[in-house]
Chains A and B, each alone.
Chain A
Amino acid sequence: MSERAAAPRGLWSDAARRLKRDRLVVTALAVLAALTLLALIAPLLAPWSYDSLDWQHLAQPPALTGTHWFGTDRLGRDLFVRTLAAIRLSLLISVLASGVSLVIGVTWGAVAGFAGGRTDGWMMRFVDVLYSLPYLFVVIILTSLFRRDNLTVLLLALGAVGWLTTARIVRAQTLALKRREFIEAARASGLAPGAIVLRHIVPNVLGPVVVYATLIVPQMILAESFLSFLGLGVQEPHASLGNLIFVGAQEMESAPWMLLLPAAFLVALLLCLNLLGDGLRDAFDPRER
Chain B
Amino acid sequence: MPSIPASAEALPGAAPPVLSLARLGVIFDTPAGSLIAAEEVTLSVARGECLGVVGESGAGKSQVFLAVMGLLPPNGRAVGSARFGATELLTLTQAALDRLRGSDIGMVFQDPMSSLTPHLTVGEQLTEVLRRHAPRGAAAARARSLALLERVHVSDPAARLGQYPHELSGGMRQRVMIALALAGDPALLIADEPTTSLDVTIQAQILALLAELKREQGLALILITHDIGAVAGLADRVAVMRAGRVIEVGAATAVLKEPHSPYTRALVQNARRLEGRRDEARLDGTLNAPRLEGMTTQPVAREDAPPVLAVSDLSVEYGVARAWLRPRRRLAALSGVSLALRAGQSLGIVGESGCGKSTLARAALALLHASHGRIVWMGQGVEQLPPATLRALRRDLQIIFQDPLGSLDPRMTVAQIVAEPLSVHERALDAEGRRRESHAALERVGLARELAGRYPHELSGGECQRVGIARAMILRPRLLVCDEPLSALDVPTQQQIVTLLASLQASSQLAMLFISHNLALVRQLCAQVLVLYLGRMMELAPAATLYAAPRHPYSRELLAAIPSVDPDIEPARLRRVRSGEPPSPLAPPSGCVYRTRCPHAQPVCAERVPAWEQPAAGEGIACLRWRELP
Contact = CB atoms under 8 A, between A and B. Distances in A.
Contact of B455 (A9, A187, A190, A195): A9
A100 to B, nearest CB: 24
A181 B402 contact: yes
Contacts of B395: 190
Contacts of B402: 181
Interface stretch (B99-107, B167-175, B245-253, B409-417): B409-417
A180 B421 CA distance: 18
Interface string A201-233: 001100000000000000000000000000000
- Please tell me the size bucket of the interface on B: 35 or more
Given A8-B455, A9-B455, A182-B406, A192 B411 contact: no
Interface in B370-427: 387-388, 391-395, 397-399, 401-403, 406-411, 413, 420-421, 424-425
A190 B410 contact: no
B365 interface: yes
- Please tell me the size bucket of the interface on A: 20 to 34
B421 A8 contact: no
A10 B455 contact: yes
Contacts of A5: 458
B118 interface: no
Given A180-B406, A182-B406, A189 B411 contact: no
B58 A188 contact: no
A8 B391 contact: no
A188 B455 contact: no
A3 interface: yes
Interface centre among B391, B395, B460 (most CB of A within 10 A): B391
A200 B423 CA distance: 14
Given A4-B458, A189-B420, A190-B391, A184 B367 contact: yes
B257 interface: no
B392 A3 contact: no
Nearest to A182: B409
A188 B454 CA distance: 23
A185 interface: yes
B61 interface: no
Contacts of B455: 8-11
A187 B362 CA distance: 11
Contact of A181 (B365, B387, B403, B413): B403
Interface centre among A9, A181, A192, A195 (most CB of B within 10 A): A181
Interface in A40-91: none
Contacts of A186: 409, 420
A183 to B, nearest CB: 8
Given A189-B421, A190-B391, A190-B394, A204 B458 contact: no
A92 interface: no
Interface in A153-212: 180-182, 184-192, 195, 199-200, 203-204
B621 to A, nearest CB: 32
Contacts of B323: none
A192 B391 contact: yes
Given A9-B455, A180-B406, A185 B411 contact: no
B468 A188 contact: no
B413 to A, nearest CB: 7
B58 A185 contact: no
B394 A189 contact: yes
Interface string A242-279: 00000000000000000000000000000000000000
A1 interface: yes
Given A10-B411, A189-B394, A181 B458 contact: no
B450 to A, nearest CB: 10
Contacts, number: 78
B276 to A, nearest CB: 29
Contacts of B58: 1
A190 B427 CA distance: 13
Given A8-B455, A184-B401, A3 B407 contact: no
Given A8-B453, A8-B455, A9-B455, A185 B407 contact: yes
Contact of A182 (B365, B388, B407): B407
Interface in B437-455: 453-455
Given A1-B58, A181-B403, A204-B410, A189 B471 contact: yes
B95 interface: no
Interface centre among A10, A200, A203 (most CB of B within 10 A): A10
Interface centre among A1, A9, A189 (most CB of B within 10 A): A189
A192 B427 CA distance: 14
Nearest to B388: A192
B409 A190 contact: no
Given A8-B454, A9-B455, A181-B406, A190 B424 contact: yes
Given A190-B421, A191-B420, A185 B458 contact: no
A11 B411 CA distance: 7
B616 interface: no
Nearest to A12: B411
Nearest to B243: A1
Contacts of A204: 409-411
A203 B425 CA distance: 22
A200 B407 CA distance: 12
B617 interface: no
B32 interface: yes
A2 to B, nearest CB: 8
Contact of A3 (B32, B367, B406): B32
Contact of A189 (B401, B406, B424, B458): B424
Contacts of A189: 394, 398, 420-421, 424, 471
Nearest to A186: B420
A189 B362 CA distance: 13
Nearest to A3: B32
Interface of B: 32, 58, 362, 365, 367, 387-388, 391-395, 397-399, 401-403, 406-411, 413, 420-421, 424-425, 453-455, 458, 460, 468, 471
What 8 A-B pairs have minimum CB-CB distances, sorted nearest first?
A190-B394, A181-B407, A190-B391, A181-B401, A203-B411, A189-B421, A181-B406, A182-B409
Given A1-B58, A184-B362, A186-B409, 7 more contacts: A180-B406, A188-B398, A190-B394, A190-B424, A192-B388, A192-B391, A195-B424
Interface of A: 1, 3-5, 8-11, 180-182, 184-192, 195, 199-200, 203-204
6 contacts: A10-B413, A181-B406, A191-B420, A195-B424, A200-B409, A203-B411
